[in-house]
Amino acid sequence: MAIWELVRDAIQTAHDRGQQWLTAREVIHEVLTLDPALNTGTIRMEMKAYCINDPSKRNWPGLYRRNPLFVTDAPSASGKHYRLLTEQERHAFLSKVRDDLETMGYPQLVEWLASPATGLQAEPLPQRAVSSQRTAVPKRRRTSDRMESRVKDLIANFDLYVQAFNEGNPFTGPSVYFHHKTLAVLRQYPTACSALQSDEFFDCLYATLASWGMHRMGPAGAKLEDIAHIKDSFRRQEPSIRALQSLSIGSTTSAEVSDITARVWDVLDGLQVSKSGTKLVANSKALHHLLPALVPPIDRAYTLRFFYNNMMLSKGDQATFKEIYPYFHRIAVACREQITSHLGAGLNTSETKVIDNAIIGLVRTQLGRRA
């Protein structure tokens, strides 16, 4: 049985007992009585995705448009309640699907559902009072606020963003094959440092990086260093890698994050992977395949767009990495259970890759697919 069916049946059971409205916590409790093994975050996300007036529904428009199930009494409130749509309300919504119902008051929404042909206009969102004395918010603060908002969104909707990645995964063929092949070779060795002596590991890594867009034919485009230079640069970092090889991003404490960030950067800074003038993208993709539990792959099209809304390393490699790595740690800790539940399926090959996949899912569903 699909999770949305369990949520629907749980709410229906409460309705049958005479309880018309349920908070998210009450819905989760009801669902867990049906299947105690379910992840609570997944249940919460399914409620939002199939609710016709929950603001988060916009992240998965295909779900509530095809299968409207729930309605909430207060879309913008933190303590909102949910109920099932009646069959009449479901048919009414499907006869004239709308994406703006979260901007209506509940009485107006009920009125529209009773007669969709009336075409009621959505109420404008309330505007915050702005003082004429107020100065413009500095750009840096706006960037920080946007990063914080997106990280919170990713954490709150983690399972659905991973699901969005899994269903619309743009990566196929050699990029998938050689990624799995490289990690399979890595697992043959007891430690990451042991794998540093393996030519097979570097052969697979070299093929992975090329298939991940790090090397283009012809005079223009990204270019990898010769494989001998890549091997030498990794092996020179062996003492630093040895100190990191037993760590995972989700097992480090908040007090350790600053130190771990600096130590990972020192390794990244010492690698010679690409002939590009920047290091972060190519070096993180390479080091990810040696320390997959600790180092996420970073790219312009998804990672930088998620954090900065653009694909430029305007702050430089070091400052960018030291700013965004603690966010990866925060996500890893907050979503530990969800990450574990996704491991092993498809490209969900490690803690950091699951987080990367969730970021890709968010970017593709919210920021468009120009990547």
Q: Count CA within 13 A, CB hemisphere, residue 234.
A: 29
Q: 143 burial class (0-12, 13-18, 19+ CB within 10 angstroms)?
A: middle
Q: Write the pLDDT tens digit of every residue in 191-247.
A: 999 999 999 999 999 999 999 988 877 766 678 999 999 999 999 999 999 999 999
- Residues 327, 198, single domain; the answer is yes
- Residues 203, 308, single domain; the answer is yes
Q: How far is 341 from 39, CA to CA, in rounded Å?
A: 8
Percent of the chain whose predicted confidence (pLDDT) is above 90: 59
- Residues 289, 228, single domain; the answer is yes
Looking at the domain assignment, is residue 132 inside a domain? no
The CATH code of the domain that includes 81 is 1.10.10
Looking at the domain assignment, is residue 99 inside a domain? yes
Looking at the domain assignment, is residue 294 inside a domain? yes
Enclosing domain of residue 60: 3-118
DSSP summary character for residue 348: -
Q: How far is 64 from 101, CA to CA, in rounded Å?
A: 12
Counting the structural domains of the chain, the total is: 2
pLDDT (0 to 100) of residue 119 = 59
Q: Write the pLDDT tens digit of every residue in 129-174.
A: 333 333 455 656 677 888 899 999 999 999 999 999 998 877 889 9
- Residues 204, 337, single domain; the answer is yes
Looking at the domain assignment, is residue 140 inside a domain? no
Query: What are the DSSP calls for 4-70, one per residue?
Result: HHHHHHHHHHHHHTT---EEHHHHHHHHHHH-TTS-HHHHHHHHHHTBTT-GGGGGSHHHHHHS--E
- Residues 114, 156, single domain; the answer is no
- Residues 312, 196, single domain; the answer is yes
- Residues 100, 177, single domain; the answer is no
Looking at the domain assignment, is residue 256 inside a domain? yes
- Residues 47, 173, single domain; the answer is no
Do the Cβ atoms of 80 and 23 come closer than 8 Å? yes
List the end-to-end C-alpha distance of the chain, in Å, as a whole number. Answer: 34
pLDDT (0 to 100) of residue 130 = 35
Do the Cβ atoms of 165 and 359 come closer than 8 Å? no
pLDDT at 118 over 70: no
Looking at the domain assignment, is residue 75 inside a domain? yes
The amino acid sitting at 39 is N
- Residues 203, 312, single domain; the answer is yes
For the question of whether the overall pTM of this predicted structure is more than 0.75, the answer is no
